[in-house]
């Protein structure tokens, strides 16, 4: 330990400029974020731009510090003075880890703690999120950078290797497309955290192994092969299907719900919506309304996906299991199997009695919590939304402005700007995650959300009856993720046939 | 006898190139062992393997009775290594560097460090990256002597230095080699012949010989035979007679296993009796050049 501290002291002395830049950038983050107006959406442009710049500047400042610290005792080659001095590799690695902990993690932890506290969140309640965010920051911003630095000689070689790894990763994998798909509504949506955490686990294990190996043995070629292997594993993506991912999610449910408790069948009341629509490409779009049984009235159902096998009486089979999230359409409790089959299959089975077997994947939302947010400057903690305030300016829409710390809640939220709380005016659309972890990776820990009415607040003299004094927010939390069996027998598709002309 | 450095069948390959080819070497304790050889002979590779900077492809090296691939902090605390290619932390001053190294060595001697800085006339406050090559080597040497290492390994320490700096380095090194073994590589024997006690000659990765300087000087002689009339060099030429040259009736060669009686008998057998034979001792530089030429001729 004494040697580690000795090396650390040397690094601090020699990297004071890099350390100062990190501390200044971290300070700027606090400086910009804490006094920023509560309603971030209305923050002055310089502050918004400043916050964005700092959130980019900070990782770059961290990377430069980490790379320079690792390169102070370059691990590649055989010409470095320290390689023939009584350095213990454990002390050397500990010195670098301490430097990162002291000048990357600790200041960031303090900065985020100050920001969340200043913005009205309870610091003690946010401690798990603060700590978990440090874990994520370390895995994403520190470990891979330190590992690549350990495999390179100078900053130019480092940049080249980062570019090579990044481009290879993008070219090698179709993940780039999936990455892009995430922005336009990839199928995993709120379960995407499973694939993200798989990637993080691969990065953490791979980068830590490369680092340890390089520090302990200084076998650069072997460590580079290991890094390339990690990149290939990442490019290959998580070896897990959507259905298996849902299985994991299901095991993490807050409430255990037996699969057999929910039954899914044909919704004969909506038979008129059943369609077998033949399009111009000789494909047949099936739309089969479904009915769920066994769900309590106060439980809200969100359809996540559906897999089904359609079997004709003659033995012809069609499997709709490629993209489970695309096979189900839903509006509230109105759920339908929506899939496309080949016309040849359709022609074979359309006059037969068809059987549909499969599973409907749903998330059940319950435990409703209603909060009234009074108009004015007062902020109110709102389950599912974080901390909120409401504003009413005559002639302008009613506003509900909220902010959450570290991660959005997975709750379904509805906002009512009417005197009657039953009238839902707004359901904020925001990315949600079923992740069980307390934080998502963030530099700026606070995220704002805004909901507003589609109508304008009346002038005081135009109000009829009792004036509206608060916004009502109802939040339902996800309580269970259930795979419910789907069974339909005796469906004759020909009777629902329609042709697109 | 103890051998702070010992190698057995040590081989190092780079792809298809063999840089070290089955090196068997023993460096006696307390000796100043010069490893000489032409450029590309494998001297630096041998030292890098000894210092665990590179792994052997096969064979084994022991340094201070430890397998070279297992050399750790406790061993390096007793080894001083200086190389012309070494990178020192350029951002540190000379004094800062010495102060930084101090806690790494239990045997660090502040007074000695101070004495070395003064003796080498090193500018204490100048950054290492701003030192001339000569000053840089002196700083490296001072930082490797200040803890009285048991073994000093110097890889081409005098290359590119002017004679004055070279002498300063030697004057700084020699008085501090008591109870110390020095292993020094050079491509120029004249650089080390004045103080080396043992010499190993490496050529194309193979050790041609390794022995004490005294016996080396004794067994090499330049022989000049003046014949009665010009004659061809006999075909049955002894393998230990190197670099034979003929000029009219005079034949010159270097006997690498000189023993007066045996050499004269062999001359008589090959050329006949009653000839004029001159035997001259050789400077080490001439021995080195002879061996290098003979090695290249054999390779061709």
Q: pLDDT tens for residues A4-56? A: 999 999 999 999 999 999 999 999 988 887 655 444 455 566 677 777 888 88
Residue A490's H or E segment, with its range, is strand A470-491
pLDDT tens string A104-138? 999 999 999 999 998 889 999 999 999 999 999 99
The pLDDT, as a whole number, for residue A197 is: 93
Which of A10, A14, A88 faces B73 most closely, judged by CB atoms?
A88
Is A79 in Cβ contact with B100 (below 8 Å)?
no
Instruction: Determine the 3-state secondary structure of B19 from DSSP.
Output: strand
Residue with tokens 């000489």: B36
Q: pLDDT tier at A182 (50, 70, 90 boundaries)? A: very low
Q: Least CA distance to B152: which residue of chain A?
A: A84
Determine which of A98-112, A166-180, A188-202, A452-466 has the lowest per-residue pLDDT on average. Answer: A166-180
CB contact under 8 A, A6 and B88: no
SS3 state at B252: strand
Q: Which residues contact B60 (CB under 8 A, 6 or more apart)?
A: B7, B8, B9, B10, B67, B68
Q: How many Å lie between the alpha carbon of A65 and the closest alpha carbon of chain B? A: 16
Measured between alpha carbons, how far is A232 from A213 in angstroms, rounded to an integer? 19
Contacts of B88 in chain A (CB under 8 A): 81
Question: What pLDDT is stored for residue A36 in this prediction?
Answer: 54
- B55-73 mean pLDDT: 94
The alpha carbon of residue B207 is apart from the nearest alpha carbon of chain A, in Å, by: 23
pLDDT of residue A20: 97
* pLDDT recorded at residue A37: 44
What are the extents of the domains in chain B? 5-212, 221-281
**From A97-106, A321-330, B196-205, B260-269, the region with the lowest mean pLDDT:** A321-330
pLDDT of A463 reads: 65
Contact B84, B92 (CB under 8 A): no
Cβ–Cβ below 8 Å for B87 and A81: yes
pLDDT of residue A318 exceeding 80 = yes
Please give the pLDDT value at position B269: 87
- Range in A261-275, A322-336, A347-361, A379-393 the model is least confident about: A322-336
Of A6, A83, A86, the CB nearest to B53: A83
**pTM across the whole model:** 0.85
Would you state the pLDDT for residue B30? 92
Query: How does residue A254 score in pLDDT terms, banded at 50, 70 and 90?
Result: confident
| CA–CA separation, A410 and A471 (whole Å) | 21
**Looking at residues B254-276, what average pLDDT do you find?**
87
- Residue B90: list chain A partners with CB under 8 A: none
Lowest mean pLDDT among A370-374, A458-462, B32-36, B289-293: A458-462
CB spacing of B86 vs A79 below 8 angstroms: yes
Going by pLDDT thresholds of 50, 70 and 90, the confidence category of residue B108 is very high
Among B73, B85, B100, the residue with its CB nearest the CB of A10 is B100
**Fold held by B5-212:** Rossmann fold (3.40.50)
| Residue B265 C-alpha, separation from nearest chain A C-alpha, in angstroms | 53
Cβ contacts below 8 Å, chain A against chain B, sum to 47
- So what CATH class is A259-364+483-499? mainly beta
Interface of A with B (CB under 8 A): 2-3, 6, 10, 14, 72, 74, 78-81, 83-88
State percent of chain A over pLDDT 90: 39
pLDDT of residue A174: 58
Q: Is B55 exposed, middle or buried (0-12, 13-18, 19+ CB in 10 A)?
A: middle
What's chain B's average pLDDT? 90
Q: Is residue A433 within 8 Å of residue A377, measured between CB atoms?
A: no
Average pLDDT over residues B208-233: 86
- B74–chain A Cβ distance below 8 A for any pair: yes
- C-alpha to C-alpha distance for A92 and B47, rounded to whole angstroms: 24
Helix (H) or strand (E) holding A234: helix A220-236
Mean pLDDT of chain A: 86
């Amino acid at each position: 330990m004494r040697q580690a501290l000795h090396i650390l002291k040397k690094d601090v002395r020699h990297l004071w400029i890099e350390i100062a830049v990190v501390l200044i950038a971290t300070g700027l983050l606090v400086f910009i974020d804490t006094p920023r107006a509560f309603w971030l959406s209305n923050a002055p442009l310089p502050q918004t731009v400043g916050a964005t710049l700092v959130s980019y500047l900070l990782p770059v400042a961290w990377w430069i510090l980490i790379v320079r610290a690792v390169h102070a005792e370059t691990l590649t080659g055989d010409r470095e003075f320290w390689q023939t001095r009584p350095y213990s590799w454990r002390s050397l690695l500990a010195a670098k880890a301490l430097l990162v902990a002291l000048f990357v993690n600790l200041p960031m932890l303090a900065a985020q703690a100050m920001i969340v506290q200043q913005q009205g969140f309870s610091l003690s309640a946010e401690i798990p999120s603060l700590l978990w965010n440090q874990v994520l920051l370390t895995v994403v911003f520190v470990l891979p950078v330190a590992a690549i630095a350990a495999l390179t000689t100078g900053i130019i070689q480092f940049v080249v290797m980062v570019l090579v790894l990044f481009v290879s990763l993008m070219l090698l994998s179709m993940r780039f497309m999936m990455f892009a798909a995430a922005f336009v509504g990839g199928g995993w949506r709120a379960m995407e955290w499973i694939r993200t955490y798989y990637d993080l686990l691969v990065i953490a294990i791979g980068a830590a192994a490369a680092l340890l190996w390089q520090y302990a043995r200084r076998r650069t070629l072997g460590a580079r092969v290991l890094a390339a292997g990690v990149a290939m594993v990442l490019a290959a993506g998580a070896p897990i299907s959507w259905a298996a991912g849902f299985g994991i999610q299901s095991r993490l449910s807050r409430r255990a719900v037996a699969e057999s408790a929910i039954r899914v069948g044909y919704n004969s009341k909506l038979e008129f919506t059943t369609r077998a629509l033949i399009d111009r490409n000789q494909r047949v779009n099936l739309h089969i309304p479904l009915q769920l049984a066994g769900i309590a009235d106060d439980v809200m159902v969100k359809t996540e996906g559906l897999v089904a096998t359609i079997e004709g009486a003659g033995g012809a089979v069609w499997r709709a299991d490629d993209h489970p999230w695309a096979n189900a359409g839903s509006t509230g409790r109105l759920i339908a199997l929506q899939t496309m089959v080949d016309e040849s299959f359709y022609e074979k089975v359309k006059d037969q009695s068809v059987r549909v077997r499969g599973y409907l994947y749903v998330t059940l939302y319950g435990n409703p919590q209603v909060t009234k947010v009074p108009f004015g400057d007062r902020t109110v903690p709102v389950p599912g939304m974080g901390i909120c305030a409401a504003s009413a300016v005559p002639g302008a829409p009613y506003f509900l402005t909220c902010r959450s710390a570290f991660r959005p809640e997975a709750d379904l939220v509805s906002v009512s700007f009417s005197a009657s709380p039953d009238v839902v005016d707004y359901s904020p659309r925001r990315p949600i995650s079923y992740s069980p972890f307390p934080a998502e990776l963030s530099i700026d820990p606070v995220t704002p959300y805004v909901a507003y009415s589609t109508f304008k607040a009346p002038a005081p003299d135009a109000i009829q009856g009792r004036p509206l004094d608060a916004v009502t927010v109802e939040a339902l939390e996800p309580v269970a993720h259930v795979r419910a069996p789907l069974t339909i027998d005796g469906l004759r598709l020909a009777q629902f046939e329609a042709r697109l002309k | 006898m103890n051998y702070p450095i010992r190698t057995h069948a040590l081989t190092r390959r780079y792809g298809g190139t063999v840089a070290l080819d089955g090196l068997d070497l023993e460096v006696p304790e307390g000796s100043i062992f010069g490893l000489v050889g032409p450029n590309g002979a494998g001297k630096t590779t041998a030292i890098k393997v000894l210092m665990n900077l590179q792994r052997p492809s096969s064979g084994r090296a022991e340094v201070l009775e430890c397998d070279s691939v297992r050399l750790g902090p406790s061993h390096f605390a007793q080894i001083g290594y200086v190389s012309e290619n070494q990178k020192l932390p350029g951002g540190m001053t000379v004094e800062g560097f010495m102060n930084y190294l101090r806690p790494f060595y239990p045997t660090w001697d502040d007074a000695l460090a101070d004495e070395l800085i003064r003796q080498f006339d090193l500018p204490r406050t100048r950054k290492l990256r701003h030192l001339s090559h000569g000053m840089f080597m002196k700083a490296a040497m001072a930082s490797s002597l200040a803890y009285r290492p048991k073994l000093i390994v110097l890889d081409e320490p005098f290359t590119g230095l002017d004679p004055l700096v070279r002498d300063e380095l030697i004057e700084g090194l020699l008085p501090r080699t008591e109870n110390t073994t020095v292993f020094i590589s050079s491509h120029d024997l004249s650089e080390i012949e004045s103080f080396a006690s043992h010499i190993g000659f490496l050529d194309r990765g193979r050790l041609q010989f390794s022995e004490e300087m005294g016996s080396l000087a004794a067994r090499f002689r330049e022989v000049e035979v003046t014949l009665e009339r010009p004659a061809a060099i006999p075909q049955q030429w002894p393998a230990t007679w190197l670099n034979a040259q003929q000029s009219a009736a005079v034949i010159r060669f270097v006997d690498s296993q000189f023993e007066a009686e045996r050499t004269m008998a062999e001359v008589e057998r090959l050329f006949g009796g009653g000839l004029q034979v001159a035997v001259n001792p050789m400077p080490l530089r001439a021995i080195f050049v002879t061996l290098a030429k003979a090695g290249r001729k054999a390779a061709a």
